[in-house]
A and B are shown apart, each in its own frame.
Chain A
Amino acid sequence: MNDGDVILQIRALYKTYELGKENLVRALRGASLEVARGEMLAIMGPSGSGKSTVMHIMGCLDTPDQGEVWLEGRRVDKLKRHELNRVRSRQIGFIFQGFNLIPTFTAAENVALACEYAGMPRRKAKAAAARALTRVDLGDRLSHHPSELSGGQQQRVAIARALVNEPAIILGDEPTGDLDTINSREIMQMMRDINKSTGTTFVLVTHNPEVAAACDRTVCMRDGAVLADEECRPD
């Protein structure tokens, strides 16, 4: 794999959280990983293995204590707050386990908010939101509030929100964790379709072997490090 094909790379990341004075959690201990452009990658591993921390750092929500993060050929781990905000709004999309929609906003407003943060004027953002929601088959639910939508539909709104700015990479933190089997499959299928049709890179943190199986590649994490592919075993 040459460098041009790598969209995201983490090198020897270390991260320690201080929960209390004497209670240090060493979440990452030298995690390294390369993600190829256009691939759909699953990260598996037991709770506390550092999956979420890796995802937060890859998504520029958090910074490592040590190590490097390269996104589309640019080092992003040392960026300032406002630069990280910009990277998040334009190059990265998030899909969370709990959907994380703003409850007082309609589906369209939730999606449009991402466009506005990426610098789009309000009217354009509205149109883009409508297009993205149509893409996830929610074109008829634009003015529904999250509470009026099923879990699967809410997660589809979140997908629309993640892809509306055409980011380089979409990061999913247990995207099917709160969904039943049928909805899980539907959501997984939708992400697969988007990955195929747009070439958007996906990195999904998951416990679900079915999700992992649908991905191009699976890596495992244990004790704050990414294991070599062959060491990976489903939990």
Chain B
Amino acid sequence: MTKENFLELAEISAGYGASRVLDGIELTIAKGEFVALLGASGCGKTTLLRAIAGFVSPSAGSIRVAGRDVTRLPPDKRGMALVFQSYALWPHMTVAQNIGYGLKLKRHPRAEIARRVGEMEKLLGLDGLGDRKPAQLSGGQRQRVALGRALAIDPEILLLDEPLSNLDARIRLTVRHEIRALQKRLGITAVHVTHDREEAMVMADRIVILDAGRIAQQGTPEAVYNRPASAFVAAFMGAENRVELWGQPSSGRFEIESGPANAVCTVPLDGRPLARGFVEARFRAEAAQLLAGTARDAAPAGTLELSGRVESVSYPGGLWRHAVRVGDDVVLVDAGMAFAAGDAVKIRIPSDVLFLFNAPAASSPAPIRSRPGGEKSRSLEASEA
């Protein structure tokens, strides 16, 4: 084994009864790496974490730590410590007893336990709280006690099951950085389960996006954010705006034909496996540029231009958010200045923030879809541009 494949998951499948929750998960985690398992509820991320921890036994596949097969080992023989979503602190024990329990189980001498508990309290900013019961602590303090209890036994791998989801939004932001800094300082390998995209982005070295028990994509936060491998990942990473276009690849470029709401546009293919047919275009509200429908200057090369009409405007802070009807779809676009509802507008999306995917049913004949350009949509006068 090398440093790169410290924790290896091979072909992990698991399920409860007849339903399959995990389906052939392959994942390799390096020593000292912080990996976030990201997904919507029910995608299997917590089950995967529990399988790694040893609370769920996989129906197939193997788990290896530093080359040692731990698939059938009990939770305490894996060198891992789990931090629970509910913290699961023992309410009848003091903070010091909670943190020291793992060492007590390992029959460490009392003086050493006290020393280690003191170290943990200092490390986590829990000084002077050793004699309190969990009920007397704030949410953030409880969370740190749970972390201290897990770290006190000096595990090789720290498993975090949505540890921030029970905290107030404001505390959560600081605790994110605290956990990340602690993980870096201790050089510990961490696997963190979350459904919060931003949390995963901020904390992790690598993000693993799970969808229906499979890995949809894995990579650095930048890679997953900027180069989503599928429409699902793009949507999950915030590119919720979706329009349907028609196009075909041609010598390293992808030519988007003009449609009822879009102009002709050619974007670099950039290694994407796009085929001729309908494509799903996805982009983020903040990645697009909003112009008045009367703007006469031509769009720069490689920039997709959509025409639409503003339906509503809101102010979430910083920028104005416009709901714009483009053909049959409504997309959200941010702009520095507000357009009024009913205004005709143009939306420009540069090719590097425009994610294109072949529509899943593109190969089969879809009677509802007609090739755009054949007839002009009456409601979109601005599409003449």
A and B interact: no
> What is B's interface to A at a CB cutoff of 8 Å?
none
> What is A's interface to B at a CB cutoff of 8 Å?
none
